[in-house]
């Protein structure tokens, strides 16, 4: 009894000591918070009262807040009241009041980049390539992007007067704004061999329902499989990702686990209803711009061996953000947790917690990456995005094509093409003729599309090194001969890379007539990842072999250095 009493006494003392330490730790935290806030407020007060020039209070506070958050991660951010509506449109809702057109800036002027089908801008015959000269009598020369955005947007059914410039002439356009609702699913339809295809651009409100509607419509045609395209999808609302996984996975299956420092942020998201189809063969397309919610969908379906992932390694964003309301209608978005796919892996690629001394953020090293197992025992890895089951090397444009794009020469020629051609063949059938391409080459004759090839850059380095080592005189003849040969080779690039340039120019032209849906249809013929997906869905043996780890596709090399070959 004495020993038992002594034990109880020891436990009580230990518990008391623990609470005492916790109390003092809590008190110390409160003191530090109070102390630092007092210092911050005092500095702000003295600046406001004593600084030599007038101080913009809102700007200086925002600068201070931004600097504080910058040391954390790029997803933790302060949103002042003036930016809240734009924030909600970008991260939450697909709806806003406007005319239905995108804009870009060039040489201090504002131009229409694209027009959304069925909305006021298209109905008013505003076209891609038109310059916006003024909005409601306000000239746009020198205006910032947010200023132009505010002028174009407004409550639906309100009038806006726009003056546009086209081919040297100004035209008045009187437009009534409408509710602009941009779908999350920008395209869906049947591909070759009766394969269903769904292109999901973002995970904003209603994206789960949009994918479901597309899937139900495609199922009416009894497709041989479904391709869900998440390439260039930067993510959005986590719960929408869970809904989309639930379309293909049975009820009460873990999709993603959210874990944070605050235990209240620990949430285990599971499928909660019966799926639309838990059996149909499924392929997910990803690339290095697929992030966040895209990676939750791809990673969960990969871990559950429910889908084959095709494409390139995804972005690697394994962090979860939550928005908190602040006084005076402002917001703060804070990273509150990391997420883990069903195998237990976190795919976060950058280590924001352990920065280098200069503040640089490093990737998690290969030595720190851990192997996890899918439901069927396949190996998957943490620390660097989603590795595809079938890797397809990304297509890289030659420098001449990049130059034609960056200098808007393809864009401008498409604008002039539309003026001369009232209509073209349907998007999937349209091709530029050799005569059309010759016309484009002639159009470039007095345009600057200069660019430097890798060979030229290396040669330039060689010339500088020869001069530095005082060997240029001896090598001059050989170097000049090489320089001439490089120039002559480059001169033929418009011919040598004609198929590639035509491909991009056709896409630019098709979008003017058939908008985003037409652009998607026209691009299918060049889509290597989609072709591989259709091929795999029509070879059930290979498809099933991948999901049980006995595929004919061999991953060679370390994660992130993958090559794929077929036996």
Q: What is the pLDDT of residues 23-34, one digit of tens each?
A: 445 456 677 888
Query: Residue 129 maps to which CATH number?
Result: 2.30.42.10
- Asked whether residue 267 is domain-assigned, the answer is yes
Residue 564 maps to a domain: no
- Residue 296: name the closest of 247, 361, 240, 248 by CA: 240
Q: What is the mean pLDDT of the chain?
A: 87
Tallying the residues shown for the chain, one arrives at 567
Asked whether residue 271 is domain-assigned, the answer is: yes
Residue 492 lies in a domain: no
The answer for 423, left when phi > 0, alpha when psi is -120 to 50, beta otherwise, is beta
Q: Find residue 441's DSSP bridge partners.
A: none
Q: Would you say residue 25 lies in a domain?
A: yes
Going by C-beta distance under 8 Å and a sequence separation of 6 or more, which residues neighbour residue 145? Answer: 103, 105
DSSP helix/strand/coil, 229 = strand
Q: What is the DSSP letter of 547?
A: H
Residue 199's H or E segment, with its range, is strand 195-200
Same domain flag for 259 and 342: yes
- 45 with 133, same domain: the answer is no
Domain check: are 173 and 222 in the same one? no
CATH number, domain of 212, equals 3.90.226.10
Q: How far is it between the farthest Cα atoms of the chain?
A: 104
The most confident of 100-109, 486-495, 534-543, by mean pLDDT:
534-543
Which 8-state DSSP code applies to residue 82? G
Q: Which long-range contacts (CB under 8 A, 24 or more apart) does 429-436 make?
A: 430/506, 430/509, 430/510, 430/522, 431/502, 431/506, 432/502, 432/505, 432/506, 432/509
Query: Does pLDDT of 207 surpass 70?
Result: yes
Residues 205 and 94: beta-carbon distance below 8 Å: yes
Provide the 8-state DSSP code for 398. Answer: -
Range of the domain at 10: 2-55
**Cβ distance 316 to 385 under 8 Å?**
yes
* Closest alpha carbon to 211 in 222, 200, 221: 200
Pairwise CA distance, residues 453 & 445, whole Å: 20
Asked whether residue 411 falls in the same domain as residue 349, the answer is no
158 and 282 housed in the same domain:
no
Spell out the residues 6+ positions from residue 69 whose beta carbon is closer than 8 angstroms to its own: 76, 77, 78
pLDDT at res. 13 = 45
Q: Do 314 and 167 sit in the same domain of this protein?
A: no
Residues noted as catalytic: 292, 303, 317
Residue 36 has pLDDT above 80, yes or no: yes
Q: Which of 388, 411, 432 is the last residue of a domain?
A: 388
Residues 273 and 356 in one domain: yes
Q: How far apart are CA 75 and CA 319, in angstroms?
A: 9
For residue 323, is it within any domain?
yes
487 to 398, 416, 463, 482, 494: CA distances (angstroms): 16, 30, 15, 9, 13
Measured CA to CA, the distance from residue 99 to residue 87 in angstroms comes to: 19
Is 412 in contact with 107 (CB distance < 8 Å)?
Answer: no
How far, rounded to the nearest angstrom, does the alpha carbon of residue 214 sit from its chain's CA centroid?
A: 22
Read off the tokens for 421. 């051609």
Domain shared by 361 and 234, yes or no? yes
C-alpha dihedral (544, 545, 546, 552), degrees to nearest 10: -140
Residue 120's pLDDT is what? 95
Residue pair 388/380 in contact (Cβ under 8 Å)? The answer is: no
Token pair, residue 72, equals 């954390």
| Strand order across the 390-391 sheet | 185-190, 195-200, 225-229, 282-286, 308-311, 390-391
Q: Do the domain assignments include residue 155?
A: yes
Query: Using 50, 70 and 90 to split pLDDT, how confident is the model at 84?
Result: confident
Same domain, 307 and 405: no
Q: Residue 5 has what pLDDT?
A: 53
Where do the H-state alpha helices sit in 92-206? 120-123, 145-152
CA-angle at 53, arms to 49 and 58, nearest 5°: 70
Decide which of 335, 363, 388 is a domain's last residue: 388
Per residue in 271-314, pLDDT tens? 999 999 999 999 999 999 999 999 999 999 999 999 999 999 99
Q: Are residues 372 and 249 in the same domain?
A: yes
> Of 388, 417, 440, which residue sits at a domain end?
388
Same domain, 445 and 363: no
In terms of Cβ atoms closer than 10 Å to its own Cβ (0-12, 13-18, 19+), residue 25 is exposed
Is residue 113 in a domain?
Answer: yes
pLDDT value, residue 561: 35
pLDDT at residue 363, rounded to an integer: 83
Model confidence at 460, in pLDDT bands (50, 70, 90)? confident
Contacts 24+ apart (CB under 8 A), 559-565: 559/366, 559/369, 559/381, 559/384, 559/387, 560/313, 560/366, 560/384, 560/387, 562/313, 562/387, 562/388, 562/391, 563/391, 564/390, 564/391, 564/392
pLDDT of 15 strictly over 70: no
Domain count, the chain: 4
Rounded to an integer, what distance in angstroms lies between the CA atom of residue 21 and that of residue 9?
Answer: 18
Verify that 173 and 263 share a domain, yes or no: no
């Amino acid at each position: 009894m004495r020993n038992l009493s002594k034990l109880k006494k020891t436990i009580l003392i230990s518990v008391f000591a623990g609470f005492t330490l916790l109390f003092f730790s809590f008190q110390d935290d409160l003191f530090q918070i109070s102390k630092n806030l007092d210092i911050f407020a005092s500095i702000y007060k003295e600046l406001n009262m004593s600084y030599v020039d007038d101080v913009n209070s809102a700007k200086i506070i925002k600068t201070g807040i931004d600097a504080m958050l910058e040391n954390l991660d790029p997803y933790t951010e302060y949103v002042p009241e003036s930016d809240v509506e734009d924030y909600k449109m970008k991260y939450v809702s697909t709806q806003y009041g406007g005319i239905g057109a995108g804009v870009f800036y060039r040489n201090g002027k504002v131009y229409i980049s694209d027009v959304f089908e069925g909305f006021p801008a298209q109905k008013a015959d505003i076209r891609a390539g038109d310059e916006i000269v003024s909005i409601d009598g306000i000239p746009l020369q020198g205006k910032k992007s947010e200023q132009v955005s505010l002028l174009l947007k407004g409550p639906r059914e309100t009038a806006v007067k726009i003056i546009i410039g086209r081919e040297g002439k100004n035209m008045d356009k009187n437009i009534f704004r409408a509710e602009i609702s941009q779908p999350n699913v920008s395209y869906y339809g049947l591909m070759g061999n009766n394969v269903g295809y769904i292109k999901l651009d973002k995970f904003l409100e209603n994206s789960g329902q949009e994918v479901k509607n597309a899937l139900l419509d495609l199922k009416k045609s009894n497709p041989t499989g479904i391709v869900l395209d998440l390439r260039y999808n930067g993510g959005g609302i986590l719960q929408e990702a869970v809904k989309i996984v639930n379309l293909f996975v049975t009820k009460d299956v873990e999709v993603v686990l959210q874990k944070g420092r605050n235990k209240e942020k620990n949430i285990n998201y599971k499928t909660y209803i019966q799926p639309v189809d838990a059996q149909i063969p499924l392929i997910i397309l990803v690339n290095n711009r697929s992030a966040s919610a895209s990676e939750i969908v791809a990673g969960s379906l990969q871990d559950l061996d429910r889908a084959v992932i095709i494409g390139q390694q995804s972005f690697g964003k394994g962090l979860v953000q939550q928005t908190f309301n602040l006084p005076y209608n402002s917001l703060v978005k804070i990273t509150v947790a990391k997420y883990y796919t069903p195998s237990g892996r976190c795919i976060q690629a950058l280590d924001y917690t352990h920065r280098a001394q200069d503040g640089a953020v490093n990737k998690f090293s290969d030595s720190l990456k851990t192997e996890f197992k899918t439901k069927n025992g396949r190996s998957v890895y943490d620390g660097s995005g989603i590795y595809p089951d079938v890797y397809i090397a990304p297509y890289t444009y030659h420098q001449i094509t990049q130059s034609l794009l960056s200098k808007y020469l393809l864009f401008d020629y498409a604008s002039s093409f539309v003026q001369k051609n009232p209509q073209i063949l349907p998007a999937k059938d349209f091709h530029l003729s050799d005569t059309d391409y010759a016309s484009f080459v002639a159009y470039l004759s007095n345009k600057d599309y200069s660019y430097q090839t890798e060979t030229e850059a290396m040669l330039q380095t060689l010339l500088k090194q020869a001069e530095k080592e005082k060997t240029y005189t001896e090598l001059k003849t050989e170097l000049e001969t090489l320089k001439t040969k490089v120039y002559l080779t480059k001169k033929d690039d418009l011919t040598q890379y004609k198929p590639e340039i035509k491909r991009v120019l056709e896409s630019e032209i098709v979008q003017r007539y058939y908008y985003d849906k037409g652009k998607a249809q026209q691009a299918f013929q060049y889509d290597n990842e989609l072709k591989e997906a259709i091929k795999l869905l029509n070879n059930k043996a290979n498809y099933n072999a991948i999901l049980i780890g006995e595929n004919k596709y061999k991953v060679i090399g370390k994660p992130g250095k993958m090559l794929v070959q077929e036996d």
